[in-house]
Amino acid sequence: MTNFINKHIKWVFSLPALIFMIGMVAVPIVMTFVFSLNDWNLLLGNGMKFNWGKNYLDVLTGKEFWQSLGITFYYTALATVAEMMLGLSIALILNKNFLGKNFVKTVVLLPYMMAPVAVGLMWMLFYEPSSGLMNYIFTSVGLPRSVFVSAKQTVIPAIAAVETWQMTPMVVIVCLAGLSSLPAEPMEAAKVDGATPLYTFFKVTLPLMTQTLFSIGLLRFIDVFKSFDLIYAMTKGGPANASRTLNLFAYETAFSYYKFGLSSAMLMILFVIVLLLSVLVMKIQRKLVSYYGG
Amino acid sequence: MADNRLKIRKIIKKALFGLLLLVIMVPILFPLYFVFISSFKNMAQVYIMPPKLIGFQPIFDNYIYIFKTQNYGTYMINSTIVAAASTALSLLFGVPAAYVIARYKMTKASTGILVARLLPNISILLPYYFIFSRLHMIDTYGVLIISHMVLSMPLIVWIMTGFFSDIPLELEEAAIVDGCTRQKCFTSVILPVCTPGLVTCSTLSFLGSWNNFQFAMILSGEKTRTLPVSLQYFVSGADIRWGRMMAATIVVIVPTIILTMILQKYIVQGMTAGAVKG
Whether residue B264 is predicted with pLDDT greater than 70 in this model: the reply is: yes
* Beta-carbon-side half-sphere exposure of residue A203 (alpha carbons within 13 Å): 12
Tell me: do B120 and B182 sit in the same domain: yes
pLDDT band (50, 70, 90) for residue B274:
low
Tell me: do B125 and B33 sit in the same domain: no
What pLDDT sits at residue A205?
86
CATH number assigned to the domain comprising residue B141: 1.10.3720.10
Tell me: do B130 and B245 sit in the same domain: yes
Task: Look at chain B and count its residues.
Answer: 278
Query: Is residue B47 in some structural domain?
Result: no
Tell me: do B34 and B130 sit in the same domain: no
Query: Is residue B204 in some structural domain?
Result: yes
* Nearest by CB: A114 against B50, B146, B256: B256
pLDDT band (50, 70, 90) for residue B55:
confident
The complex's ipTM works out to 0.90
Helices (H), A141-205: 155-180, 185-192, 197-200
Whether residue A253 is predicted with pLDDT greater than 90 in this model: the reply is: yes
Cβ atoms of B248 and B231 closer than 8 Å: yes
Instruction: Please give the backbone phi and psi of residue A128, each rounded to the nearest 5 degrees, phi first.
Output: -50, 120
Segment A61-120, tens digit of pLDDT: 999 999 999 999 999 999 999 999 999 999 999 998 888 899 999 999 999 999 999 999
Give the 3-state secondary structure percentages of chain B, helix then strand then coil, rounded to 5.
75, 0, 25
Nearest to A253 by CA among A4, A3, A32, A7: A32
Enumerate the β-bridge partners of residue A39.
A49
**Mean pLDDT across A251-265:** 92
Angle, CA of A27, A30 and A32, to the nearest 5°? 110
Q: Is residue B142 less than 8 Å (CB to CB) from chain A? A: no
CA distance A86 to chain B (A): 10
Q: What is the CA radius of gyration of chain A?
A: 24
| Rounded Cα–Cα distance for residues A167 and A111 (Å) | 7
CB–CB of A114 and B211 under 8 A? yes
CB–CB of A121 and B231 under 8 A? yes
* Percent of chain A topping pLDDT 70: 96
CB–CB of B122 and A285 under 8 A? no
Greatest mean pLDDT among A31-45, B53-67, B245-259 lies in: B245-259
CA A204 to each of CA A85, A90, A190: distance values in angstroms, whole numbers, following the listed order: 18, 18, 8
Whether residue A293 is predicted with pLDDT greater than 50 in this model: the reply is: no
CB–CB of A21 and B150 under 8 A? yes
Chain B residue at shortest CA distance from A126:
B31
Average confidence score pLDDT of chain B: 88
Tell me: do B149 and B260 sit in the same domain: yes
pLDDT band (50, 70, 90) for residue B276:
very low
Whether residue B103 is predicted with pLDDT greater than 50 in this model: the reply is: yes
Whether residue A292 is predicted with pLDDT greater than 50 in this model: the reply is: no
What pLDDT sits at residue B2?
66
Query: Is residue B243 in some structural domain?
Result: yes
pLDDT band (50, 70, 90) for residue B236:
low
Helix (H) / strand (E) containing A38: strand A38-39
Domains, in order of start, for chain A: 63-291 (1.10.3720.10)
Q: How far is CA A173 from the centre of its chain?
A: 16
* Nearest by CB: B276 against A177, A263, A268: A177
Query: Is residue B50 in some structural domain?
Result: no
Tell me: do B127 and B252 sit in the same domain: yes
Segment A131-160, tens digit of pLDDT: 888 998 898 898 888 889 888 999 999 999
Segment B105-161, tens digit of pLDDT: 888 888 888 788 888 888 899 999 999 999 999 999 999 999 999 999 999 998 899
What pLDDT sits at residue A2?
78
| Rounded Cα–Cα distance for residues A117 and B260 (Å) | 18
Enumerate the β-bridge partners of residue A38.
A50
Tell me: do B217 and B94 sit in the same domain: yes
Chain B residue at shortest CA distance from A116:
B211
Domains held by chain B: number = 2
Mutation site, A27, A117, A124, interface B, largest B CB count within 10 A:
A117
Tell me: do B74 and B171 sit in the same domain: yes
* Nearest by CB: B109 against A18, A123, A136: A18
Residue B73: CB atoms within 10 Å? 12
Tell me: do B19 and B65 sit in the same domain: no
pLDDT band (50, 70, 90) for residue A291:
very low
* Nearest by CB: A173 against B17, B228, B272: B272
Query: Is residue B44 in some structural domain?
Result: no
CB–CB of B256 and A232 under 8 A? no
Q: Which domain holds residue B34?
A: 2-38
CB–CB of A285 and B21 under 8 A? no
Average confidence score pLDDT of chain A: 89
Chain B residue at shortest CA distance from A212:
B276
